[in-house]
Amino acid sequence: MKILVCISHVPDTTSKINFVNGDTEFDTNGVQYVINPNDEFGLTRAIWFQEQQSANVTVVNVGGADTEPTLRKALAIGANEAIRVNATPTDGFFVAKQLAEVAKNGNYDLIICGKESLDYNGGMVPGMLASLLDANFVNSCIDLKVDGNSAKAIREIDGGKETVSTSLPLVIGGQKGLVEEKDLRIPNMRGIMTARTKVLTVLEPVAADNKTKSVKFEKPAPKSAVKLVSPDNLDELINLLHNEAKVI
């Protein structure tokens, strides 16, 4: 089985986020980048298929040379090879188009995406990718088993879970639950050294129109100051809750 895992290069969730040029562009200064958490769950599941079913795992990213450390980390975790499409990921359709071209040329059986990236939260790429490939698609996937050409997936729905039987080729949008957090892989020294010798192929992008454009970003309103009340002064606390917070 050939598996393609789509990797997004996103800011660490602990990073302080700012915008520049009139809040139209993300400020990358001082920001550390990581594998998108939803993609990391998918990568770990792919490595499980590699270990249990001798699957071949390729990771792919659409981005500039600055994303290669993220791909090298994926190789250190256990992926067999990596592909970088040398383009700035301008919108969801553009990314899906690049990934579809890679997938078509590689003849992959299973394509694992995160259901969304944790920077833009668009959630568009997995579905558009499946459409471009005319492949079966399961989103919000929290479990996946493959037996030959058949697959059984469990996906999260409002108020419960749904079990789906389908066939390969298959695209999934994975999330937390596809593997448990405790099962996520941390690259060891052997993996890091081996990753340096694994193939990382750079491809030029295919032509694709942008369907969307980010016009402006806005940060959440800052939290208001906290007012501390002595535990010995219950009358003041009640007065503040009643007259200022107006919750009683």
Return averaged pLDDT per consecutive 10 residues of the chain, 248 residues in all. Answer: 96 88 89 94 97 96 96 97 96 96 96 93 93 97 95 94 96 95 91 93 94 88 84 88 85
Give per-residue pLDDT as tens, 140-177.
Answer: 999 999 999 999 999 999 999 999 999 999 999 999 99
Q: Which two tokens stand for residue 55?
A: 């699957």
CB of 59 closer than 8 Å to CB of 82: yes
Phi-psi category of 21—alpha, beta or left, where left has phi over 0 and alpha has psi -120 to 50?
left
SS3 content of the chain, % helix, strand, coil (to 5): 30, 30, 40
Location of structure tokens 């295919």: 206
**What's domain 2-221's superfamily in CATH?**
HUPs (3.40.50.620)
